[in-house]
Amino acid sequence: MKRVVVEKKILERNDESAKKIREILKNKGVFALNFMASPGAGKTTIIEKTIEALKDNYRISYIDGDLDTDRDASRIKKLGIDVVQINTSGACHLDADMVLKALKQVSLDCDILIIENVGNLVCPATFDVGANKNVVILSVPEGDDKVKKYPVMFNVADVVLLNKIDLLKFLDFDVEKVKKELKEINPDADFIEVSAKEGYGLDRWFEYLKNLIANSSLL
């Protein structure tokens, strides 16, 4: 029982820091997205394509959470935007304190702050990092049973991107089942099918994102 108490304390502290992040971002007029997914679901690729599509009209900054490497951050840096790397030294998620520290280094003269969380379909869901919206990516090869198996993550999603739909033709995957189970767990979550590799659905995602930002009270 001790463990639960410890966890509660950590989460309370985290929520305080997340609140501070929200205040900072609100004052700066920055709209923040927190990308979460399993390893290899396509977070970095979708973020790359999103930055490429939007960077002429929006100023974008990027914070990357990774256990140990800066591989993802290096990929994003090539796009010419401001990048800060958080190495969690083995921790399985970003927390608000880590992001708060990163905010001191990253350029906040931006419209959009993209936070790429550690690849993990479980723990990042529990730690609010002060973003305006949570983007959860599920990819087709992971299987169509994941929404109900990882309800905590899908419960905090504002939008679910189903990625790698170019692989639907090779794999036994029921998109309708995923949509149905997502509706049961989180009826407010939006759902967009994409193939980051082949481009399918990305325009819909970009439009969706532009609408989110336009309708937010921040900008």
The residues near 78 (Cβ < 8 Å, ≥ 6 apart) are none
66 binds a second copy (CB under 8 A): yes
Contact residue for a second copy among 143, 179, 190, 191 (CB under 8 A): 143
Instruction: Give the per-residue contact string, 163-202, with a second copy (x = CB under 8 A; - = no).
Output: -x--x--x--------------------------------
- Round to whole Å and give the CA distance between 147 and 208: 22
Contact residue for a second copy among 26, 55, 77, 148 (CB under 8 A): 148
Show the DSSP H helices in the chain as ranges: 2-28, 43-54, 71-77, 96-103, 146-149, 151-156, 175-185, 202-215
Q: Contacts with a second copy: how many residues (CB under 8 A)? A: 34
Instruction: Give the per-residue contact string, 80-99, with a second copy (x = CB under 8 A; - = no).
Output: ----------x-x-------
Q: Give the number of residues written for the chain.
A: 219
State which of positions 28-57 bind a second copy (CB under 8 A): 38-40
Piece of the chain touching a second copy by CB under 8 A; list 50-58, 78-86, 103-111, 116-124: 116-124
Least distance to a second copy, CB of residue 215, Å = 32
139 binds a second copy (CB under 8 A): yes
What burial class does residue 28 get, using C-beta atoms within 10 Å of its C-beta: 0-12 exposed, 13-18 middle, 19+ buried?
middle
Piece of the chain touching a second copy by CB under 8 A; list 60-68, 79-87, 187-195, 199-207: 60-68
104 binds a second copy (CB under 8 A): no
74 binds a second copy (CB under 8 A): no
Which residue number, 18 or 60, has a Cβ lying nearer to a second copy?
Answer: 18
- Round to whole Å and give the CA distance between 105 and 100: 9
Q: Give the number of other CB atoms < 10 A from CB of residue 2.
A: 6
Contact residue for a second copy among 71, 101, 180, 204 (CB under 8 A): 71
Residue type, 50: T
219 binds a second copy (CB under 8 A): no
Show the DSSP H helices in 71-174 as ranges: 71-77, 96-103, 146-149, 151-156
Biggest alpha carbon–alpha carbon distance for the chain = 52
Show the DSSP H helices in 120-191 as ranges: 146-149, 151-156, 175-185
Residues that bind a second copy (CB under 8 A): 3, 6, 10, 38-40, 66-69, 71, 90, 92, 118-123, 126, 139, 141-143, 145-146, 148-152, 164, 167, 170
